[in-house]
Amino acid sequence: MPALPFSLPEIDADAAYRAWQTHDARFDGRLFAGVTSTGVYCRPVCRVRLPRRANLRFFRSAASAQQHGFRPCLRCRPELAPGLSLVDSSQVLAQHAARMLDHAARSGAALRLPDIAARLGVTDRHLRRIFALAHGVTPIDYWTTQRLLLAKQLLTDTRLPVTEVALQCGFASVRRFNAAFAQHCRLSPTRLRRAGGTTLVPRRATVTPLLRLPGTLACDALKLRLAYRPPCDTEALMHFFAQRAVKGIEAVEQQTLRRTLRLVQGGREHIGWLALRSLPDIDELEVMIAAELVPALGRVIEAVRQAFDLDADPARIDPVMALLSAAPRPGLRLAGSFDGFETAVRVILGQQVTVKGARTLIQRLVGRFGTPLATPFADLSHLFPNAARLAAVDPADIGTLGIVRQRVGAIQALARGVAAEQIELHRGAPIEATLAALRALPGVGEWTAQVIAMRALAWPDAWPAGDIGLANALGSREPKRLTELAEAWRPWRAYAVMRLWHLMETGT
């Protein structure tokens, strides 16, 4: 391998080895080790026999390990490791680009680096330089690794044909897919599938009662697990979703969440349901996914990871949150978004009303314009209306639901922008450009834009200074004063919002 034209921060190999000795989950997704005696690379949580210290080479990313000739471990499965939140790196620009590449890999979208650079407001040459300094690999190498890790998960956890896996991961042909897989993983896709097994729940099979499914399923479903860095305050997350649950599209029971979901991948719409629960003993989230959503599994995984903020790093966030006067809750997470457009509409309907009032309006909107959907659950019966549907309806029809004219205009302006693909609402969207587009919409002010950024764009430093809940919690009605108080919580102000909201709703 040629020498890199820059130097990377040195990894303390002794400290890294101690993380491997103790299987420290705090380093999961932040550190990988290549084993020279086997040629594989692993996560710190891997439970195989500890390799000799002399046989380990440490890397900051899976892409860097693969670039150095190591293939992913079939036991600990590096594709399941938590990712990185946006402010993990001092090179925020590089992290923006990484999130865009993650989204492109999981959605199967074509990649043009000049387009990503242009959206970030830099040249592609500058982006390549900054990206390599932050991640140790080129953007193309990073993107290739993310696609192959998604392919590995699809081959291991589903029965999708190899051709479908290749297309879903953005490969133009099976031949190119097989060649890339053989080069980086040192085995063929079919051989990996035979070695990895599957976790599909067969038709009519009994499933775990903790997911609150019926005794049997009348359809195929996929069960998989997604890792997170401990601790994770799932109790606060579930409380947030339960308070805002809309009958027909979502339901929360203790530590279990179920909902319907609509995703578009490769120009095709996929609709179905999912159910998930936390497994705190092993620091993972268990997810059951309807077979109809499996062809868009990359997008489903992205949505779940964002909704439950699985890529957060409590070791960085918790010390800052300890500065709040409220009693700290270790493992605080941002309650994110399964569907960016749905979340944005719900934020607009939440302007200047209580949580209960907003939920009533959303319930009416779903009842009138939502799409009926058959599911195994009595409490899941509809899909949230998509952007094209809400953009096309008569404004007067929305007004009959008790939604004031200004908010009707805001919802339809947003719907037109999303339907025309002029506004993107996911964690890979460029923050500043998207905020500017949102602020330009009629009826969308700074509070609305910031809350959408916090939840739909997963922006960890979003700060809706005009929020009444924050005003009550912090004892001031002056947005400028609230912003001054929040300076101590940068770059995690959105987490402070979540903590203060929870405090005001529960008193704890």
pLDDT tens digit sequence for 214-269:
443 445 688 888 999 999 999 999 999 999 999 999 999 988 999 999 998 877 89
Q: What band does 448 get if pLDDT is binned at 50, 70 and 90?
A: very high
The chain-wide mean pLDDT, for the chain, equals: 86
Question: Which of 91-105, 128-142, 156-170, 225-239 is predicted with the least confidence, judged by mean pLDDT?
Answer: 91-105
- The tally of CA atoms less than 13 A away on the side-chain side of residue 390 is 30
The pLDDT value recorded for residue 112 is 81
Residue 42 annotated to the active site: yes
- The domain limits of the chain are 1-157+160-197, 295-506
Lowest mean pLDDT among 68-77, 410-419, 492-501: 68-77
**Helix pair angle (297-307, 139-157), 10° resolution:** 100
Terminal alpha carbon distance of the chain: 54
CB 236 within 8 A of CB 229: no
> How many other C-beta atoms lie within 10 A of the C-beta of residue 173?
11
User: 83 vs 402, which has greater pLDDT?
Assistant: 402
Residue 54's pLDDT is 92
Q: Is 220 a catalytic residue?
A: no
pLDDT at 489: 92
Q: How confident is the model at residue 204 (pLDDT cuts 50, 70, 90)?
A: very low
How far apart are the C-alpha atoms of 272 and 291, rounded to whole Å?
8
Q: Which fold has domain 295-506?
A: Endonuclease III; domain 1 (1.10.340)
- Taking the C-alpha atoms of residue 480 and residue 200, their distance in angstroms, rounded to an integer, is 53
CATH pick for 1-157+160-197 out of 3.30.70.100, 3.40.30.10, 1.10.10.60, 3.30.565.10: 1.10.10.60
Q: How many helices (H) and strands (E) does the chain have?
A: 22, 12
User: Reduced to 3 DSSP states, what percent helix, strand and coil does the chain have, rounded to the nearest 5?
Assistant: 50, 15, 40
Q: Which of 12, 14, 42, 232 is catalytic?
A: 42
Candidate list 233, 283, 309, 467, residue with the active-site label: 467
Q: Does the pLDDT at position 484 exceed 60?
A: yes
